[in-house]
């Protein structure tokens, strides 16, 4: 499921390319590819891997940071000349939803870290 949901980034790649944000489009393409790589590694446990899961996750984090940085830059450039109240309200909504996504991401990681895994079960069952 996570593998296929990573393909949703391709819609952003196409959209930003169409709007002539070519660097932003490239960053979304990189994010799509690194997310596919990371979510492929979750389901494969092959010892002959050329890239480890930790390295793939690091590359994915770099792609995420690039998308956020470029998006923030574009957002900043558009916010320089704010004159209408409705435009200000739209920007506040954008910032609020971005912060909410960060909250959901952190909450997801915290709940994953609290949940026992199969490895925890194996350690307790077989005294590893």
Domain boundaries, the chain: 1-81, 84-128
> 39, 17, 38: which is closest to 26 by C-alpha?
17
Q: How confident is the model at residue 68 (pLDDT cuts 50, 70, 90)?
A: very high
Q: Does the pTM of the predicted model rise above 0.85? A: no
Q: What is the mean pLDDT of residues 50-65?
A: 80
90 falls in which pLDDT band (50, 70, 90)?
A: confident
Per-chain mean pLDDT for the chain: 79
pLDDT value for 26: 95
Identify the pLDDT of residue 123. 64
Binned at pLDDT 50, 70 and 90, residue 51 comes out as: low
Tell me what pLDDT residue 102 has.
85
Q: Does residue 53 surpass a pLDDT of 80?
A: no
When mean pLDDT is compared over 51-55, 72-76, 102-106, 108-112, the highest value belongs to 72-76
For the CA atoms of 60, 73, 11, 25, the dihedral, rounded to the nearest 10 degrees, stands at -80
């Amino acid at each position: 499921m996570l593998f296929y949901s990573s393909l949703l980034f391709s819609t952003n790649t196409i959209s930003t390319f169409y709007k002539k944000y070519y660097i932003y489009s490239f960053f979304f393409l990189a994010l799509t590819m690194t997310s596919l790589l990371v979510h492929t590694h979750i389901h494969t446990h092959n010892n002959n891997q050329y890239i480890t899961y930790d390295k793939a996750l690091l590359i994915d984090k770099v792609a995420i940071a690039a998308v956020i940085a470029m998006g923030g830059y574009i957002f900043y450039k558009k916010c320089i000349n704010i004159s209408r109240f409705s435009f200000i309200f739209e920007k506040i909504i954008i910032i609020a939803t971005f912060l909410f996504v960060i909250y959901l991401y952190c909450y997801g990681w915290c709940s994953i870290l609290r949940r026992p895994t199969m490895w925890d079960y194996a350690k307790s069952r077989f005294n590893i």
